[in-house]
Structure 1
Amino acid sequence: MHASEDTAEQIAALLEGIVRRQRRATKDGVGASVTHGQFRLLRTLDQADRALRLSELATQLGIVPRSATSVVDDLESAGLVARRPDPGDRRATLVTLTPAGTEVLTTIRRTRRDAMVTLVARLTPEEQSTLHHLLTRLAQD
């Protein structure tokens, strides 16, 4: 294995560890009641700032419509999202966040942010700026 491949593998492992910490912090903050996939769906609805069709949700999440339906079923049972008929298309269903869903999403975001603040507090302000810059470059499409 070349040195650059070894470095890339090490970076991938480190990033995976950080993501695991974030997910663990989320579970600690709201319990195991919201999975990562459910969090993504809640976040997608919040960012859309409007009700979305199930097919739109599936597309934005990169999952098949049947999977989106299953996630919405679970979130609806928990009172975190609500379905309603699409007034523009009787065959379609719109999904929206409920006030309880917004509250859970806010709690998850706060918990994740607090966990990251604790983690990056180990770095100097200059290191934090460099890390932010490098991650931004890596995240660009």
Structure 2
Amino acid sequence: MTTPDPDGLLAEQLLRLTRRVHRIQKRHLQQRVVGITPAQSRLLRTLAEYEAPPRMADLAARLEVVPRAVTTLVDGLEANGVVRRVPDPANRRVIRIELTEDGRETLRELHGARRSAAEEILAPLTDEQRAVLGELLDTLVDGASARTC
């Protein structure tokens, strides 16, 4: 099988560009939502996808991280009043994580920060180029997911 990037130049360019995109996103996040890290942002967005408060193990599985990582993230978010631990009504030994009202407001701020970062990143592209980029990124992610399964 031949390698489509024998010198690794395309891979290096991809890594460099994804780091730059990440820095732009992080800058927007820090400017608009003080005290929330990118990892905490991801946890909050994931938490909002649940209809009922999930267990930490559910969050860890969805985020594809070890449960201890979720505990650390939740500790920080709870200290900021963004989430709270609540006992499961059916089994009080089980702890669930729910957003507070401050957490919902933080999510709105995160959405705005992510949107402004995307606008900055995509500003040079036409609508057609954006569509092509979206398709290419989907292909990359779907291909990577297929290889890891």
Q: Percent identity?
A: 37
One-letter amino acid matched to 1:2:
P
Distance 1:14 1:6 in 2: 12
Equivalent residue for 2:60, pick from 55, 58, 61: 58
Q: Which has the higher helix share?
A: 1
Distance 2:73 2:106 in 1: 16
**Structure 1 gaps, min length 5:** none
Q: 1:48 matched to which residue of 2?
A: 50
One-letter amino acid matched to 2:54:
L
Deviations along 1:61-100, one digit per CA (max 9) or x if unpaired, are 2222222122212111111001111122221101111111
Distance 2:54 2:93 in 1: 14
How much has 1:103 moved relative to structure 2?
0.8
Q: How many residues align?
A: 139
Equivalent residue for 1:27, pick from 30, 54, 57: 30
Q: Give the TM-score, by structure 2 length.
A: 0.85
Answer yes or no: is 1:8 the counterpart of 2:18.
no
Q: Which has the higher strand share?
A: 1
RMSD: 1.6
How much has 1:108 moved relative to structure 2?
1.1
Q: 1:88 matched to which residue of 2?
A: 90
| Equivalent pair of 2:21/2:121 in contact (CA under 8 Å) | no
**Structure 2 gaps, min length 5:** none
Distance 2:118 2:86 in 1: 36
One-letter amino acid matched to 1:87:
P
